[in-house]
Structure 1
Amino acid sequence: MADAARRCRMVFFTGLPASGKSFLLRQQISIAISLGRRVHIMRWDTGLSAFQTEDILARYPDVSDGTHPLIRKAAGLWGRRALARWLAENTDPIGMIVGEVPIIGNRFSEFIQAQPDQIEPALASEETTFIYPVPTKGLRANLEAIRRSTFANPRHPDEARDAPPSTMELAWRQTCAKTAELGLVSEVDIHSPYEEAIYVRFFEHLLRHRNAVRIAVDTIYTDAGSAHDLNANILELNASPNEVQLAVAEVEAAFTVEEAARDVENWYQV
């Protein structure tokens, strides 16, 4: 992480819900600032919230596995363009983006897809790193318990926007199913308990077009406070109302609702 803070323009934390992404993002910000970097952040939950207006949700309400597919695609479209715009406007190498991109279920999964646009060379370069924490089996059980507790009784406003326990459990079932479907492991029961090997093989596949780093996690820092306690001076990339409307309109023009749903279902095919 210190190496990434010195040399990278963009660092993204990805992986399963309740794997330590938010905590590591906070630590990455602290390291980068200590090295004199000027940090902006980009997070799926915050980016998505701009698209969850009363009008848009009335047209595209939540579905069984969370946000409507068309909204997910619009947020991803905005996200890649926002990164390109940030790089164009922040040419001083002292600037840096630190992001949290869950990927699973088409949540900024566009960031790992090789697409023919102006941001692709930067996303695929050595100046961008995708870090995914891999907790041990015992630690994962503890992190799941903590997520259930903080979601029910948030210590920080942003904890109420964390993936709920049902989404956390669904993400693991999807990981098992898609890893087996891709032939990365032998057939597994989608209700199997968490296994590091399944998780690692899936994310090695997902991140094969990116500079990726795996971090083994085996410790909980009980006195660390909420992982969402970030430096108040950090600026976060977010979509303006006009950008939201443009992204939604563009996705609507390109996809029917059924086509968007099928496209989102295939998010892991990178």
Structure 2
Amino acid sequence: MLQQFAIVASREGRTVHLLQWDVVRGAFEGHPAGARYPEVDGVTHAAIRRAVGLWARRAVSEWDRRHPGGEHLLAVEAPLIGDRLASLARVRNDEAEALLGGTSSIFFVPAPSDEVRRAIESSRIREARTPRHERERANAAPPLLELLWQDVVRLGVRFGLAEQEWTGRGYQRDLYVSVYRRLLRDRTAVVLEIDDVLPVTGSPYAFDTVPVEILPSHRDVDDFLTVVSSLPHGRLRQEAEQWYGDVEEGG
């Protein structure tokens, strides 16, 4: 969907700038300082997740300042769950908030049906075995997809949107949408119900017109990992566990 969105925008004359979670976190993990925070069982270390989130807000702010014209468009792939660029959904007193919380920013929530969800899981199995693009190797594997879904369920229970008995059950679109709506309560959010499985002939990482990628510099990675590493271990763990902030308060 992100690929097709970028292609359509390019054909309409927009210059597309792209910021993707998996691509950016790879830059942090590949940095020498990132070696201290290795991925475990496919799950990105909490320190990396937090550093990427801090960097992303500054990156969004800088992009906005450099591209004031409407001919430019910023497309961000932000999973949110598990503190994966979730900082973009939280209200903060910084320069990025005016853009993120303004009417010119829309957070789309793709909500697949059960059939589409099964197709996604099957696709991830294929990608893991025979990736068609180098970046597909960084995609969430089927076990991680299930782990992320259970994170959604746990949030649903915490927010009062689901009963404890939901834990362990399979994907349910209504709960998925409800949790994301709560996470994005301070943002303009639009739910896209995806009911059709379309044929895929290539990699979603391939573009007709290559977007301008927003990536951290070597210095950026070093700076933000230094900030995160200076946090007391207990605070980092607490922030990692409560990455959704004050969302559970109120409706």
Same fold, judged at TM 0.5 (above)? yes
Structure 1 unmatched runs, 5+: 1-23
Match of 2:74 among 80, 92, 97: 97
CA contact (8 A) 1:38 1:94 kept: yes
**Matches of 2:165 and 2:206, distance apart in 1:** 38
Distance 1:59 1:216, change over 3 A: same
* Residue matched to 2:233: 257
**Matches of 2:228 and 2:103, distance apart in 1:** 31
Task: String of CA shifts for 1:169-213, please: whole Å, max 9, x gaps.
Answer: 100011111101111123333210111111011011011010101
Distance 1:244 1:223, change over 3 A: closer
Aligned: 1:86 with 2:60 = no
**Matches of 2:30 and 2:57, distance apart in 1:** 21
Task: String of CA shifts for 1:24-63, please: whole Å, max 9, x gaps.
Answer: 1111111211221111100001111111136324322224
Pairing of 1:96-135 with structure 2 (within 5 A): 96-135=73-112
Q: CA deviation at 1:65?
A: 6.2
**Matches of 1:193 and 1:106, distance apart in 2:** 22
* Residue matched to 2:166: 189
Of the structure 1 ranges 220-229 and 26-35, higher mean CA displacement relative to structure 2 is found in 220-229
Distance 1:222 1:26, change over 3 A: same
TM-score, normalised via structure 1 length: 0.86
Of the structure 1 ranges 150-159 and 167-176, higher mean CA displacement relative to structure 2 is found in 150-159
Of the structure 1 ranges 77-86 and 89-98, higher mean CA displacement relative to structure 2 is found in 89-98
**Matches of 1:39 and 1:54, distance apart in 2:** 26
CA contact (8 A) 1:155 1:226 kept: yes
Match of 1:267 among 239, 243, 246: 243
CA contact (8 A) 2:56 2:85 kept: yes
- The list of structure 1 runs, each at least 4 consecutive aligned residues, that deviate by more than 4 angstroms after superposition, is none
Aligned: 1:171 with 2:148 = yes
* Residue matched to 1:7: none
TM-score, normalised via structure 2 length: 0.93
Alignment length (residue pairs): 246
Q: CA deviation at 1:97?
A: 0.6
CA contact (8 A) 2:29 2:38 kept: no
CA contact (8 A) 1:122 1:128 kept: yes
CA contact (8 A) 1:174 1:190 kept: no
Share of identical aligned residues, percent?
A: 30
Pairing of 1:136-155 with structure 2 (within 5 A): 136-155=113-132
Task: String of CA shifts for 1:133-161, please: whole Å, max 9, x gaps.
Answer: 11111221121111111122111111111
**Matches of 2:28 and 2:136, distance apart in 1:** 19
Q: Give the match's secondary structure for 2:99.
A: helix
Q: Give the match's secondary structure for 1:51.
A: helix
* Alpha-carbon RMSD: 1.5
Structure 2 unmatched runs, 5+: none
Distance 1:248 1:157, change over 3 A: same
* Residue matched to 1:42: 19
